[in-house]
Structures are given as C-alpha cells and as structure tokens.
Amino acid sequence: MSTRIDARFAATASEGRAALVTFVMAGDPDHATALKILQALPGAGADVIELGMPFTDPMADGPAIQAAGLRALKGGETLTSTLDLVRAFRAGDDATPLILMGYYNPIYVYGVERFLADAKAAGVDGMIVVDLPPEEDEELCLPALSAGLAFVRLATPTTDDVRLPAVLRNTSGFVYYVSIAGVTGSATPDFDVVAGAVKRIKRHTPLPVAVGFGVKTAQHAAAIARSADAVVVGSALVDAVRGSLDADGRATEKTVSAVTDLVSALAAGVRSARVAA
C-alpha cells in the first residue's frame, strides 16, 4: 500500500530533486500560531513535515529545539493537543506527509495502543522516536508498523556497517542520517563526508535517505541535496520563531512569515541543486 511518504518521495524523485523536510515544534510559541505555521509550510515549499512532540528532557536536541519545547509546554501543549494540531492540519491538506518526532516517555504515558490508534486517525503518517534503539522494537516500532504508521530510524556517523543492518531492519518511510555527531543545530556538516555516508547507507537499503542536523541556510540545503534524497531543517526554523517573538515571548505578526520566508529560501536552495547537477 502506497503511503503519503512514498508518494511524496516518488514525486520529488520524478522532478529530479531532493525533498525538503521541515521540523517545527507543536505548540510553539502557542497552539494557534503553531497551527498557522503548520498550515503555511507546504505552500512555502515544505515537502514533508516533522512535528515535534514537546518533552521536558529532549536529550538529542540542542538549545534551540529544547527552548521551543519548553515554550510549547509552558503554553499548555500536550500530546493530545498535538494530535489536535495534526487533525486541524489534515482538514485542509490530505497530501503532505506528516511525521511526529520526539521521545518515548509521553507516548508510553499516553498508552502505546491508544496513541497509535489516535495518531493514525488524526492523519499522522509516521514517527521518529529518538530514544528507542532497534533492540526495543517490540515497544513501539513493530506496533506502529502494524498500525500502518512508518517508523523512521536515525543513522549517525558512528553507525558502522556492522550496526547498520540492525538499524535498518524495521525502518520504513525513509532513513534519517544525522550528519554530525552531537545534538541538533550544533555545527555545520562536512558535505563531502555526508555524501559518502549517504552512498554507504544506500548500499544497504532502497529507502530514501534524508540528511539533517546543522542545515541552516539555502546554501547548506543545496549542498546536501546534491547527494541525499531529502534535506531536513529544524533548529534554523525554531530559531526563526524565537527571533520573531515579542519581549514577553509571545507571537507577533511576523512569526509565521519568519518561518515561511526561511522555508521558501531553503526550498529554492534544494530545488537549485538537482537542476544544476
């Protein structure tokens, strides 16, 4: 059965370009503004959306995404309201793939079976849960696959050829290659090294390979897009949200456009890469 994720990657491949995957935090800086941002992303050039599930202890996230999660939690965002966001987004967009990204604890507290059923009904296409290794696939990965949700795995610079098959075994949708060793938004990747890593992963899987962490500009996006099937941008977008807020941390009339202007620039960078290649 073809999914929204499969269809979108097939479409971008047929256009001869990489996809742009954008990460934003649910409920940042507040629920209503987060929905406006979400609704505006496809029109700005986002091909796939990752929606962060706010959590109090996001160990893989750098300062920008940590702060976004804290803003969302302070505003009252919950896993239930995050699924409400997805539902509201789906009311106007039935084509753009949407993936929830976060940590296992809130899902565990919500109840795995209930969460998977509610996420599927809301219109979620898949999930990335960064603190569940392949050895824990029975906790969430396998139930998610049974529920018809993709389970996207992370591969990192330290994932060698011995470890890679275990990482890829139950992966679906796409593979997310973390381009740097460290937390999100912490450094700029070495694009030649990334290209080599993408080639290596592709020898092990037919799935699309998306590359993220450290991608901040249209130039970065274009450089990644020359070798990867998708470019993931997150910290730069949540930084754009933060930079648009007033002195009290509230949304302004510039908040949505701060994100969409950057997405448009990144999308242009991604689209330029394959045309020139």
pLDDT in tens, 133-167: 999 999 999 999 999 999 999 999 889 889 999 99
Q: Which residue out of 28, 50, 137, 239 is catalytically annotated?
A: 50
Out of 28, 30, 61, 125, which one is annotated catalytic?
Answer: 61
Question: pLDDT at position 273, please?
Answer: 84
Decide: 210 and 174 in contact? Cβ < 8 Å.
yes
Q: Give the integer Cα–Cα distance in Å for 233 and 64.
A: 12
Positive or negative: CA dihedral 256, 7, 118, 212: negative
Rounded to a whole number of angstroms, the CA Rg of the chain reads 17
Q: Rounded to an integer, what distance in angstroms lies between the CA atom of residue 22 and that of residue 247?
A: 26
Catalytic-residue membership of 113? no
Q: Which two tokens stand for residue 198?
A: 């993408």
Encode the chain (277 residues) as per-residue pLDDT tens digits: 469 999 999 999 999 999 999 999 999 999 999 999 999 999 999 999 999 999 988 877 788 899 999 999 999 999 999 999 999 999 999 999 999 999 999 999 999 999 999 999 999 999 999 999 999 999 999 999 999 999 999 999 889 889 999 999 999 999 999 987 655 555 677 888 899 999 999 999 999 999 998 888 999 999 999 999 999 999 999 999 999 999 999 999 999 999 999 999 999 999 998 644 4
Task: Please give the pLDDT value at position 205.
Answer: 95
Which of 179, 185, 186, 180 lies closest to 210 in space, CA to CA? 179
pLDDT of residue 60: 73
Q: Is the pTM of this model over 0.85?
A: yes
Side by side, the strands of the sheet bearing 19-25 are 150-151, 126-129, 98-102, 48-52, 19-25, 230-233, 209-212, 175-178, 153-155
Annotation marks residue 61 as catalytic: yes
- CATH architecture designation of domain 4-276: Alpha-Beta Barrel (3.20)
Can you tell me which residue has the tokens 């991604």?
270
CA distance 79 to 102: 11
What pLDDT was estimated at residue 1? 46
List, as one string, the DSSP characters of 188-251.
---HHHHHHHHHHHHTT-SS-EEEESS--SHHHHHHHHTT-SEEEE-HHHHHHHHHHS-TTS--
Question: Residue 95 CA to chain centroid, in angstroms?
Answer: 16
